[in-house]
Structure 1
């Protein structure tokens, strides 16, 4: 149900929101609740079947440009993604990439996995869509790995350039968002309480889960960035955000943790409370992260479970952790005591250019080794399944 002139009822009071955050932001968010991604959505509104579209899309993304065999709607998506790269600051983009790679992938993994996704799943508008899609609770291990796969690809050298691995994966993620919207709308799911499925507002909220949420979390873990480093990391994600279909105006003011916090607070006011789908997704996430971490490290799953639970409490605090039934473990105080040492080592690393370059080189190689060429969203030619049917 597309009702762009209404404020979804479960988003709270529009008047109260406008009073607290201004009429302009209230109006923009009202539009964002219903707006989707017309460029990507057009791909699946064409006369071509999904079996025809997906290989055509993959080939064009891998080339980084359309050719005479590219469907017009696919060519339009490629062009729109390239527009996001026009006029960007290449030096700042590279600095943002290096900021990410200066932190060990496993630390980033906990911040971008249980750190970010516990927050993502806390709003029913996102949790309901994901559970209806059916993959995140049934295939949580694989689905978590696929999301991680996408993020890894963004930080490879020239990964975001047309034809780069990050460009390819980002285009596929954007297309899969469009396909999920098509399936959910076709199935007639009622989203009038929250807004359209995977709408602009939900994409903005998810963007926050790749920026302020993990970097504020990493700070609590001992990986505190300078404001300049934050701005560089956020800048990279602004470019990715535009490439994945988020309008520039929604993310333009969001430069670092400090400037983004008021917007995160505003988002929380209209998020709604976690529901049973939120709980199901968090349960699946916690299990999936431990299984994946075990496959990478070889450490016992029981220890990794306690390590993960401890980090969720460190990142999100006791309140959210208690709400999701995350256990208190003896590992948490040990990790908290180590934070000053972690930060000291991190500061020393950044003060030694030669050591930092070597760390970045090693971490980038680790990402390459962890990439999964069999990610299912790259090969989903049969369509996206909902919880009750396939399309």
Structure 2
């Protein structure tokens, strides 16, 4: 369809949104989320979202649906990897191997401990889920009693396996070291709360087997990815390391409204081994090719800055640095903070092991830039990604 005709059809649909079919609306939402709309179409559609709560709700639901599909795909991929590990391990010879060749089992555990630990859990979950959804989970059924006994046997066996291997690990090496190499990819992240929730870019942690964050003092903490929104390049991490201590009140807050063209802005991140400050101005209210989810800023950035905060003069976080324009010197892009706030609202409650409460008080306002940076440095992290 010619561009003019397509635009006319789109405009007609926008004018008659009350008469849109579900298929038409779904098609529009998919084009919107896949960034297949022209600049004018995107502006019209966002006006529709703003003026029609039902449409905005449908967009949010569709995002969540896409996220669930992605998680399901990742679960299938994990199952394939577990199957491969299962074929690699001779479980029946395990005790003998530990006794005769302890170094072998230490190496095996180092490479596959997480998969071995969850293998039994996944099997149990799959069995119980199937029975529950088919209505066959009945505690009075003899088959349930038999299944329960089998699950208990699997659990005991798995616990014994972990205990045996952990004993071997203690003999071979008394403590688990932090990774000393720089990782396969390095980016930046910053604190959402004082208790270990961090935000970075999705492209920084994509396909990672493990993620660590390193603070300004050089201390590294293991972290897990608890939520992602690939379409907005956002990933939420949680530090789950026993050596981590709460940071104290986060000194900045997150701006809900749009920032103005020409505002002074600055970044703080890890393009290399040391934290680097960069400053500039907000150059455009939209990002690359008119993307309304992003700002364009005239701030010098490098790949390691990805995931770092973009702040205004008062110390409000207005975005997350997520890219640069190689054809234009000094042009960079940042996901708007309003989309980060929406992402936080979309995190499933069962993914949070503790409360994620954003700070509403900004203690950076009124400080000089050097004073702001001194307060910021403990809340901005280097993100290190590792792949097997």
Which TM-score bucket, shorter chain as reference? under 0.3
Q: TM-score when scaled to structure 1?
A: 0.26
Higher RCO (C-alpha under 8 Å, 6+ residues apart): 1
Q: Which has the higher helix share?
A: 1
